[in-house]
Amino acid sequence: MNLERELMQVAMNGEGVVGRRRFLQTIGLGAAGLAASGVLPLSFTDWMALQAADLRKRQTACILLWMAGGPSQLETFDPKPGTEHGGETKAIASAVSGIAIAEGWSQTARVMNEIALVRSMTNKEGNHQRATYQLHTGYVPSATIKHPHIGCSISGELGESHFDLPHIVSVGGPTIGAGFLGAAMEPFVVQNPEKPPENTQPRVATDRFRRRLGLLDHLEAAGFERIGGLDRVRDHRALYRQTARMILSPQMRAFNLEEEPEPLRSSYGKTPFGQGCLLARRLVQAGVTFVEVRSNGWDTHQQNHERVGKLAGVVDPAFATLILDLKRHGLLERTLVVWMGEFGRTPKINPNAGRDHFPKVFNVALAGGGIKGGQVIGRSNADGTEVKDRPVSVPDLLASICHALKVDPTKETMTPIGRPIKIVDGGKSVHELFG
């Protein structure tokens, strides 16, 4: 039985569609009242379906699967078995005739009809920190300005102003920040997807919590009014209100993976990354604009073949299941999924059976969000040392992400010092990705 069929057989514990009146009663209770009220449970699918008229129904979302450390293209989606630099990795056929990927990625191979591979990514930054910054922002690091995460820029364009949950979430650890966009657009970090986010449970009853917020407003206004600090009060107050709205919202149940059926959770893999991908689907379904899920350990300077094999054993089922799960929920067409790291690895294997940093040629995989799957864009040469045709730069890739999400990459934002900065500086969308 193939993976898609297995997932289609996973039941969602639904209880039928409930009325809008009951839903409105439910969201009016507040987080503290929900548990005591007995109004719930509704299945997460039914609960989210009722919000379709109110949440981002015309907007798009992105899930970034970040392979921290730089994944080897030769052991992922551009294998070269039997060549001088091919190593021990063998190629396996995929669901698309003529597209072969590395062994260890069998579940991803089965959904290749949904995936577009770019095998001709090329860049100059071979330092982890600098390349990570560039792949997340579209800019090389600067001493004079901190550029925002591309997800923060996109969320600023697409996110609903009164949405209860954060617009951008980083699962598995911190990521690049919001830079000059400010604290309101900072990514919300979830360290462990299987536990509720830290510090999001009120320690007192809802009414008392709200009274404390009101008292804080009065104290701040009174304290700063005489010294001309009301601008700081306004910003601080906005941040507190945004946070309070989140922790009191019934939409916080999007973080509760226990609502999902066990067979589905197992399909993703009972690992932090696998469960992080399931959380990403739930967050996108709840209306979050951008979710990054991080997989660590791809800096394979030693024992590359064995280490990538173990990492692929975690990422492969999660990646494939995420695509199928999004599709099953009708979310794939408006949700772009991007698999990438900061660079690739050297074709030549080093004396420690590892591969070193290599930004000159690497690969990226994309699915959903209007991407035409079942294709390969660009090629590396026979020994993997050069891009043979259709080079794609980092700005090209980020411009393509913006295009998929219907965001203008050339739009300028004014920094606090009055300098206009584009979302992506240069770069042209890779038109082949969209057919």
Instruction: Report residue 404 as tokens.
Output: 């998929």
Say which residue, 421 or 183, is predicted with more confidence: 421
Res 318: pLDDT: 98
**What pLDDT score was predicted for residue 347?**
98
Cβ–Cβ < 8 Å for 164, 246: yes
Helix or strand (DSSP H, E) at 279: helix 272-286
Cα-Cα-Cα-Cα dihedral sign, residues 73, 79, 84, 89: positive
Q: Which residue has the higher pLDDT, 29 or 55?
A: 55
Structure confidence by residue, pLDDT tens digits, 213-235 = 666 566 666 555 555 555 655 65
The string of DSSP letters for 118-145 reads EEEE--S--SHHHHHHHHHHSS---SS-
Asked whether residue 422 carries a pLDDT value surpassing 60, the answer given is yes
In whole numbers, what is the pLDDT of the chain averaged over residues?
85
Residue 6 has pLDDT above 90, yes or no: no
Tokens standing for 94? 């995929």
pLDDT over 60 at 14, yes or no: no
> Is residue 127 over pLDDT 80?
yes
Question: Could you tell me the pLDDT band of residue 15, with boundaries at 50, 70 and 90?
Answer: very low
Task: Report residue 142's pLDDT band, with 50, 70 and 90 as the boundaries.
Answer: very high
Above 60 in pLDDT, residue 58? no
What is the reported pLDDT for 435? Answer: 79
Distances (CA, A) of 227 to 21, 169, 231, 358, 389: 48, 36, 11, 54, 62
- Residue 178 in contact with residue 166, Cβ under 8 Å? no
pLDDT of residue 203: 62
The residue that leads in pLDDT, 179 or 237, is 179
Q: Which two tokens stand for residue 179?
A: 């830079």
Q: How confident is the model at residue 248 (pLDDT cuts 50, 70, 90)?
A: confident
Over residues 373-383, the mean pLDDT reads: 97
Contacts 24+ apart (CB under 8 A), 302-305: 302/352, 302/353, 302/354, 303/352, 303/353, 303/354, 304/72, 304/75, 304/87, 304/345, 304/349, 304/353, 304/354, 304/355, 305/75, 305/87, 305/88, 305/89, 305/353
Average pLDDT over residues 69-98: 97
341-352 mean pLDDT: 98
